[in-house]
C-alpha cells in the first residue's frame, strides 16, 4: 500500500511539475506561447511584440537588417533607385538567452527607402502555426539521439493531426519593426508582400520608421 502511495505521489508530482513548466514556458518564451495560442484561438498583438523583441535581440537578425540597409545606401550613392527590397534567409534561435538548442530558418522580406538622404528600413517575417510537411524532418534533424528524433516527429505529427481535426487554430503572424504594420492572420494566409511594401513605403515617405545602421539595438 505504501509503495502504491509513493508511486502515486511521484506521478502527481511529475504531472504538477510538467504543468508548472508549461505555464512558465508559455509566459516567458514567445515560441512556446505561439503553440499555446493554437488552443485558445486568440493570438494578439502582444505575441507579435514578444516575438519581434526576440528577433531583434539576436545578433544575426540585426546584422542582416543592417547589411541590407548598407547595401541600399551604397546602391543609391552609385546612382541606383531610392528603394531596395530583397528576401533574406536568417537562422533564428528558438531557445532563450542565446543558449544552444533548436533553431528555425525564417524567410524575411526587407525594404529600405532613402528619403531626403536618410535611410528607413522595414522587415516582414511571417512565422506561424500551420501545417508544414518539412517540420518533422527539419526539427528532428537537430537532435543527436534516436529517442529525441522520434519524440520530435511524434510531437509535430500530433500537432498536424490536431490542426487537421480543427482542434488547433492555424494562424500566421505578420511581424514587422513597428505595430502599425504588424498583424495576425487567422488561417494559413499571411499578409501579402505587396501590401506590406506599400504600407511601409507610405510611412517612410512621411519619414516614419527606423534605421538599423544608426540604431540597431532599439525595439
Contact between 43 and 171 under an 8 Å Cβ cutoff? The reply is yes
Residue by residue, DSSP assigns 60-126 as HHHHHHHHHHHHHHHHHHTT--SEEEEEEEEEEE-SGGG-S--EEEEEEEEEEEEETTEEEEEEEE-
pLDDT band at 215, cuts 50/70/90? low
User: What confidence category does residue 7 fall into, taking pLDDT thresholds of 50, 70 and 90?
Assistant: low
What local confidence, expressed as pLDDT, does residue 8 receive? Answer: 54
Highest-pLDDT range among 31-40, 105-114, 180-189: 105-114
Higher pLDDT, 57 or 19: 57
Radius of gyration of the chain (CA): 21
Q: Tell which wins on pLDDT, 4 or 8.
A: 8
User: What band does 151 get if pLDDT is binned at 50, 70 and 90?
Assistant: confident
pTM for this prediction: 0.81
Predicted local confidence at residue 99, as pLDDT: 59
Would you say residue 191 has pLDDT above 60?
Answer: yes
Distance between CA atoms of residues 108 and 57, nearest Å: 16
Q: Residue 114 has what pLDDT? A: 96
Going by C-beta distance under 8 Å and a sequence separation of 6 or more, which residues neighbour residue 135?
156, 160
> Other C-beta atoms within 10 Å of 194: how many?
8
Amino acid at each position: 500500500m505504501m509503495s502504491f502511495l509513493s508511486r502515486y505521489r511521484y506521478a502527481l508530482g511529475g504531472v504538477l511539475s510538467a504543468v508548472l513548466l508549461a505555464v512558465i514556458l508559455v509566459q516567458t518564451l514567445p515560441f512556446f506561447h505561439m503553440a499555446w495560442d493554437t488552443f485558445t484561438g486568440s493570438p494578439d498583438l502582444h505575441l507579435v511584440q514578444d516575438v519581434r523583441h526576440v528577433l531583434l535581440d539576436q545578433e544575426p537578425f540585426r546584422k542582416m537588417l543592417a547589411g541590407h540597409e548598407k547595401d541600399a545606401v551604397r546602391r543609391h550613392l552609385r546612382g541606383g533607385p531610392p528603394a531596395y527590397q530583397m528576401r533574406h534567409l536568417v537562422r533564428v534561435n528558438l531557445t532563450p538567452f542565446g543558449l544552444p538548442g533548436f533553431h528555425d530558418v525564417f524567410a524575411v522580406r526587407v525594404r529600405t527607402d532613402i528619403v531626403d538622404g536618410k535611410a528607413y528600413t522595414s522587415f516582414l517575417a511571417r512565422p506561424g502555426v500551420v501545417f508544414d510537411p518539412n517540420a518533422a524532418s527539419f526539427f528532428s534533424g537537430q537532435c543527436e539521439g534516436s529517442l529525441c528524433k522520434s519524440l520530435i516527429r511524434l510531437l509535430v505529427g500530433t500537432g498536424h493531426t490536431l490542426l487537421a481535426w480543427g482542434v488547433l487554430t492555424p494562424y500566421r503572424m505578420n511581424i514587422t519593426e513597428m505595430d502599425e504594420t504588424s498583424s495576425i492572420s487567422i488561417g494559413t494566409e499571411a499578409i501579402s508582400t505587396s501590401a506590406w511594401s506599400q504600407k511601409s513605403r507610405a510611412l517612410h515617405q512621411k519619414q516614419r520608421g527606423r534605421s538599423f545602421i544608426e540604431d540597431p539595438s532599439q525595439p
